[in-house]
Structure 1
Amino acid sequence: MARTDLWTRDQLLLALRLYLRLPFGKLHRLNPEIIELAKLIGRTPNALAMKACNFANLDPELQARGIRGLSNLSNADREIWMEFLTNAEGLASEAEEAAERIAGVAIIDLPDLRLPTGPTDFERTVRTRRVQSFFRAAVLTTYNSRCAISGVAGAELLTASHIIPWSESIERRADPRNGLCLNALLDRAFDRGLFSLDDNLRVIVSRRLIDNVADAKLKCSLDEIEGSPLAIPSRFRPDPEAIRFHRAKVFQP
């Protein structure tokens, strides 16, 4: 007889999305967010919390710190995790669509996106918003909503910065290993190649470009962070390959 209690794809996507959006310590059955989502997907809060915690057993950063979830991993859990690692952009869009459809989550408003002009452009814009929303939530959670360099806290002041730029890699657009949590000023400077990171995750500043920066406060800020260590995230440590790409293709020494 076929089992009727198997998790659907939508349910698994929302459980993984939950895991990426919440600190590990908040993945428990008494969390109001888990209680509400469990009701919407027809699972108990305990079952949803356990399913989300299962992904900790597949997360190498948590494993290295000795943090593990429950041991009852299913093949479906492993498959959705591998899909996240190999096709984060596609999975992110699908997970956010499921959150909108099932949980009534609104697409994040991204003011820097141009308005759609036709059906195809509209679909592209919606997908971009979904992927950006997924990426931002995962990166900010990874860095406990603090700038990885300055320590500034508060989601409204922070940006999920792509190490390999959005335009350079579709595959890395939603990958939190390709992300840094930076305050708005440092995000802009990072995107412009005014600073990067060395192999030890310490800040290196472009001396050539900084001489051409007219803003004295920005110059001072960059001078102050030179040599500073990046705060090591609780999970999804920056991918060394992405760091090397930024240093070689974006940073201008």
Structure 2
Amino acid sequence: MRARQKTWNRSELLVVFRLYCRTPFGRLHHRNPEIIELARLIGRTPSAVSMKACNCASLDPQLKARNISALGNVSKADSTLWEDFMFDSESIAHDAEAEYSALTGKEAEDYTPEFGGILSVGGDPASPDIPRISDVLSESTEKDALVKVRRVQSFFRTSVLISYDYRCALTGLSIPELLNASHIIPWSVDEKRRADPRNGICLNALHDRAFDRGLISFDENLRVVVSSQIKSTEVCAIHRDQLLRLAGKPLHLPDRFQPEDDALEYHRNNIFRP
């Protein structure tokens, strides 16, 4: 008699979903060392983990359009987790990072403070209305809040950069130290979309700053529009080559987690300075 398969629990699904979001699609196979290690940690086979990760891909509308199908049966729990992430990415991202931390004893990696509009440790001097964590939370809750911020930031940053293959969506620059995961709708505006990779674009540090400050945006055809403030200032070589000449340049889209139209529309209408 064939042994009954062990049911996947929520904790296992969360860490596999985390793996899916931070692994290039072509590496979701049982020979990937990260999949082998995760399988060992949760007591599954590498093949089972890779199949479950590929099931996540089959739930992604953009990959569905490319006829990416599941390698196994997509369970109700798989679908529910995906739907939960689409509804409240911040909570799922935090829970996934927390489960990974509990398994490995390691905390979130890739923490970077560059996110505009964030309730950050030091605040953003360019945005005086953004408070410091220490100004609004007691000492006992400040640590927990900081851990959550780091987990969510790590999830978002890695998911976005992996989706764009660690290349700037405008220039193709592929030096990780010079790349940022730019929020389209700012961190402070929509809590539930803070960790949603579809609310992000991989940009180099200069263009990330310009996008964050509303000096560039993207039109309905995903081409760069440049603010009149840039056009009216004194021109130097960098200004001309890296900003003015961006106008009309197409955004290079990732294979998955492509920017959502409504997020880009929000940026055009509320962040961009025409």
Identify whether the pair has TM-score above 0.5, normalized to the shorter chain: yes
2:144 alignment counterpart: 123
What secondary structure, in the 3-state scheme, does the structure 2 residue paired with 1:167 have?
A: coil
Displacement of 1:68 in angstroms is 2.2
Distance 1:169 1:219, change over 3 A: farther
**Unmatched runs of 5 consecutive residues or more in structure 1:** none
Whether the aligned pair in 1 keeps the contact of 2:216 and 2:225 (CA below 8 Å) is: yes
1:245 alignment counterpart: 266
Q: TM-score, normalised by structure 1?
A: 0.93
Letter of the structure 1 residue corresponding to residue 154 of structure 2: S
Whether the aligned pair in 2 keeps the contact of 1:210 and 1:219 (CA below 8 Å) is: no
Letter of the structure 1 residue corresponding to residue 215 of structure 2: L
d(CA) in 2 for partners of 1:210, 1:8: 55
d(CA) in 2 for partners of 1:122, 1:111: 16
Letter of the structure 1 residue corresponding to residue 121 of structure 2: R
2:13 alignment counterpart: 12
- Of stretches 96-105 and 9-18 in structure 1, the one that deviates more from structure 2 is 96-105
2:125 alignment counterpart: none
Q: Match for 1:186 among 204, 207, 212?
A: 207
1:154 alignment counterpart: 175
2:23 alignment counterpart: 22
**Unmatched runs of 5 consecutive residues or more in structure 2:** 115-119, 123-132
> 1:206-245, CA deviations, whole angstroms, 9 ceiling, x for partnerless residues?
0224434787524531112111000011011111100010
> 1:137-183, CA deviations, whole angstroms, 9 ceiling, x for partnerless residues?
11111111100111101322211000001111101101111100001
Distance 1:33 1:227, change over 3 A: same
What secondary structure, in the 3-state scheme, does the structure 1 residue paired with 2:202 have?
A: strand
Deviant stretches of 4+, over 6 Å: none
d(CA) in 2 for partners of 1:197, 1:51: 35
1:104 alignment counterpart: 105
d(CA) in 1 for partners of 2:234, 2:152: 32
2:250 alignment counterpart: 229
Q: What is the number of equivalent residue pairs in this alignment?
A: 251
> 1:38-88, CA deviations, whole angstroms, 9 ceiling, x for partnerless residues?
101111111100110111211111111222232411111111111111111
Q: Match for 2:189 among 140, 144, 168?
A: 168
Q: TM-score, normalised by structure 2?
A: 0.86
2:81 alignment counterpart: 80
Q: Match for 1:145 among 162, 166, 176?
A: 166
d(CA) in 1 for partners of 2:9, 2:84: 15
Whether the aligned pair in 2 keeps the contact of 1:178 and 1:238 (CA below 8 Å) is: yes
Whether the aligned pair in 2 keeps the contact of 1:37 and 1:103 (CA below 8 Å) is: no
Q: How does 1:19-98 map onto structure 2 within 5 Å?
A: 19-98=20-99
Letter of the structure 2 residue corresponding to residue 110 of structure 1: T
d(CA) in 2 for partners of 1:215, 1:106: 44
| Percent of aligned pairs sharing the same letter | 50
